[in-house]
Amino acid sequence: MAPGLPAALAQAKFKEAVALHQSGQLDQAQGIYEYIVKKFPGNFDSLHLLGFLLYQKGEHQRAVELIGKAIKLNPKNASFHYNRGLIYQDMGRLDSAAACFERTVALRPDDADAWARRGQMQHALGQLEPAAASYGKALALQPNYVEAQANLANVLLALGRTNEALAAYDRTLALNPRHSDAHSNRGVALRRLGRLDEALASYAGAIAADPRNAEAYSNRGNALRDLGRSEAALADYDAAIAVAPSYAEAHSNRGNALKDLGRLDEAVASYDRAVTLKPRYADALSNRGVALKNLGRLDDALASYSQAVEAEPARADSYSNRGNGLRDLNRPAEALADFDKAIRLEPSNALAHSNRGNALRDLGRMDEALDSFAKGIALDPEFTDARLNRAGALLLTGRFEEGFELYEWRWRRGKDGPQPRVMDKPLWLGEPSLQGKTILLHSEQGLGDTIQFARYARLAKAQGARVILEVQAPLKGLLTGLAGVDQLIAAGDPLPSFDFHTPLGSLPLAFGATPDNLPSTEGYLAADPAKTKAWSDRLGPKTRPRVGLAWSGSTGHSNDRHRSIPLVQLMAGLPDGYDYISLQKEVREADAPVLGGSQIRHFGDDLQDFTDTAALAGLMDVVISVDTGVAHLAGAMGRPAWVLLPRANVDWRWLLGRDDSPWYRSMRLYRQGADWDWSGPLAAVSRDLAAI
């Protein structure tokens, strides 16, 4: 056989195999490639294409081995490195793929595709700045490279360079106006910039370009939630799931919308589905914990937070969330350890510093708590909750001047706080003079807050003002005749003309309140005499001391689980021999059978408003109440009022370490001790009742 014949035969067979390969006849092409590499082991082109063919057939490991042999024979062939990189990428071996594309661009620096692939691997490996540089190289070589432009935008977004990312998405869409992912991710950038209406338009563009873009539906749902449109968001999450039933993020986001809507059991089910699809999904586990907490399932909530920690043990937020779960269960020392761990992982996490302050406050370590809140504020000067937490701690320690100034941040809490009134007249906080002016003082939060701060009407009147007081409708009758008030109106009534306005909770700031200068601490409210007589007749002759009881407040109060007491527990701590009178209109379902089987006299709907409650409270020898409006009512009337206070997150107005209140001189405070239990304060109440 002539010397050139083997090479010619190999070349002919190779061409035949390539033609079959290109026509999709993979089995026939494979047979010929295998014949060539067996007969001609040094034929690197056949080794390379046989490897690529096996990759097409799903035999990834054999493919990389064969292409590796081709590279050993011809290490400077860029295509060999590039294709081996593609296979490693499909195998999830990102480091190996990155090395292949690195070698490709070294051998073929004018290959835009190779630079783009290099950028993809760097992005996937978290090497964001190098990835941006790689995409930049690809675009320098091929300015109209749409995917490189879109991927560069994604990297810039991940780097937090949001405005640059937005410009890159715009360039992508200029090249391809129907690039659905670019529209969707552009919406993400706009959402980060707070441009929510524009973000919604971008998501709509993504869906118009590809109605099956599940991520676009989910992203639009997120923007709708930001706008408070949770029902519409829920519809988008459902649309995302209809397109992609296994899309874990959409199920988790759906849970968030359901949580917003108060549909907590459904929210938990959505989070459960997300975690089933993505078992180590920390966000879903944490949010499930919040929903479980809101359902009152505190132990289950803690377990969910712990799963989030296990899923992402290097994530600071997971520890911070678990710390909150531990605080809910009155375990502040353990919570503090979790907050400390979060801060070690992420020293700049302002939320963890603020949460740490709450745990220190629970433990009575107030100076350290104040320091933690201050660190949270220093890290994020716009962090409203940290400022309000610090305000509460300052007020608890009697530092009213600083505390009430920070308390003004309550208006910045959005839907989670009191809603600021839009007024066309200026806010008054102590200046200018009120002489000859009319001021509107208006309620802002709970009934107890209104009762507590209405006392300041007298001080405004003393400055020469005409005083209009606007209160919640149930309080209008009670506050009729309050000293200093020229006109009393109910919330929702037409507003008369006025020159200035002040929310009631801002009056202590306006008048420079300190614990020693609080006005009208002695009986500034009185019951209606006619109603007092009517209730006295209804109660009948007094045969033993009368004790008014209020054991629970509104279930919507953020600290209700700590401040309210189950009736069965309250009754177990109170002695016999007294005429117990319920001062509550509403009774919780769990308390109803206990009340029905007790000797407590309960009048329910016969307490039509606070004038009835005031008349009944005025007939009591003592009122025993948890931290609710009844306690404020009794104190404002100057009646003996014994208030049971929780240890956890005690309200700032009761200060620390005192058994009296500068707000109400007739009040006595009974606090939970280090055991976080009601048995101690109830035992003290029982002992003191013996003296009546």
Q: Exposed (0-12), middle (13-18) or buried (19+): which is 594, by Cβ within 10 Å?
A: middle
DSSP, res 429: S
How do residues 474-486 score in pLDDT, each as one tens digit? 999 999 999 999 9
Q: Tell me: pLDDT of 521 over 80.
A: no
User: Does residue 583 contact residue 616 with C-beta atoms inside 8 Å?
Assistant: yes
Report residue 119 as tokens.
């950028």
Q: Quick one: pLDDT at residue 405?
A: 97
Overall CATH class of domain 529-689: alpha beta
Mean pLDDT highest for which of 235-239, 361-365, 444-448, 521-525? 235-239
Q: Which residues are 490's β-sheet partners?
A: 471
What is the rounded distance in angstroms from the CA atom of residue 378 to the CA atom of residue 375? 5
- CA 591 to chain centroid, in Å, comes to 31
Q: Which is more confident, 558 or 682? A: 682
Across the range 138-151, mean pLDDT stands at 97
Instruction: Assign 538 to helix, strand or coil.
Output: helix
Q: Quick one: pLDDT at residue 420?
A: 85
Question: 102 — phi, psi (to 5°)?
Answer: -60, -45
What is the rounded distance in angstroms from the CA atom of residue 253 to the CA atom of residue 283? 10
Overall CATH class of domain 438-510: alpha beta
Across the range 241-255, mean pLDDT stands at 98
How do residues 219-230 score in pLDDT, each as one tens digit? 999 999 999 999
Q: Quick one: pLDDT at residue 1?
A: 33
Which residues, 6+ apart, have CB-to-CB distance to 652 below 8 Å?
391, 392, 393, 395, 396, 403
Across the range 371-389, mean pLDDT stands at 97
How do residues 56-93 score in pLDDT, each as one tens digit? 999 999 999 999 999 999 999 999 999 999 999 999 99
Instruction: Assign 521 to helix, strand or coil.
Output: coil
Q: Quick one: pLDDT at residue 5?
A: 54
Q: Quick one: pLDDT at residue 451?
A: 96
Q: Quick one: pLDDT at residue 554?
A: 75
How far the first Cα of the chain sits from its last, in Å, is: 126
Q: Tell me: pLDDT of 2 over 60.
A: no
User: Does residue 134 contact residue 114 with C-beta atoms inside 8 Å?
Assistant: no
Secondary structure (DSSP) of 337-360? HHHHHHHHH-TT-HHHHHHHHHHH
User: What whole-number percentage of the chain has pLDDT above 70?
Assistant: 99
DSSP, res 474: G
Q: Tell me: pLDDT of 639 over 80.
A: yes
User: Does residue 548 contact residue 616 with C-beta atoms inside 8 Å?
Assistant: yes
Q: Quick one: pLDDT at residue 582?
A: 97
Mean pLDDT over the full length of the chain: 94
Q: Which helix (H) or strand (E) holds 470?
A: strand 466-471
What is the rounded distance in angstroms from the CA atom of residue 666 to the CA atom of residue 634? 9
Q: Quick one: pLDDT at residue 309?
A: 97
Q: Quick one: pLDDT at residue 11?
A: 87
pTM reported for the whole predicted model: 0.83
Q: Tell me: pLDDT of 389 over 70.
A: yes
How do residues 104-113 score in pLDDT, each as one tens digit? 999 999 999 9
Q: Tell me: pLDDT of 599 over 70.
A: yes
| Pairing, β 500-503 against β 546-550 | unpaired
What is the rounded distance in angstroms from the CA atom of residue 66 to the CA atom of residue 58? 14
DSSP, res 542: -
Count how many residues are written for the chain.
692
Strands (E), 545-678: 546-550, 579-582, 622-626, 641-645, 667-671
- Are domains 314-412 and 529-689 of this chain identical in fold? no
Q: Quick one: pLDDT at residue 559?
A: 72
What is the rounded distance in angstroms from the CA atom of residue 276 to the CA atom of residue 248? 8
252, 260, 258, 302: which is closest to 282 by C-alpha? 252
Across the range 250-262, mean pLDDT stands at 97
What is the rounded distance in angstroms from the CA atom of residue 642 to the CA atom of residue 631? 8
Secondary structure (DSSP) of 362-384? HTT-HHHHHHHHHHHHHH-TT-H
Q: Where are the domains of the chain?
A: 314-412, 438-510, 529-689
- Longest Cα–Cα distance of the chain, Å, equals 132
Q: How confident is residue 3, by pLDDT bands cut at 50, 70 and 90? A: very low
What is the rounded distance in angstroms from the CA atom of residue 210 to the CA atom of residue 232? 20
How do residues 187-217 score in pLDDT, each as one tens digit? 999 999 999 999 999 999 999 999 999 999 9
What is the rounded distance in angstroms from the CA atom of residue 140 to the CA atom of residue 126? 23
What is the rounded distance in angstroms from the CA atom of residue 154 to the CA atom of residue 186? 9
What is the rounded distance in angstroms from the CA atom of residue 15 to the CA atom of residue 281? 51
Q: Tell me: pLDDT of 556 over 90.
A: no
Distances (CA, A) of 360 to 366, 444, 559, 675: 7, 29, 17, 16
Overall CATH class of domain 314-412: mainly alpha
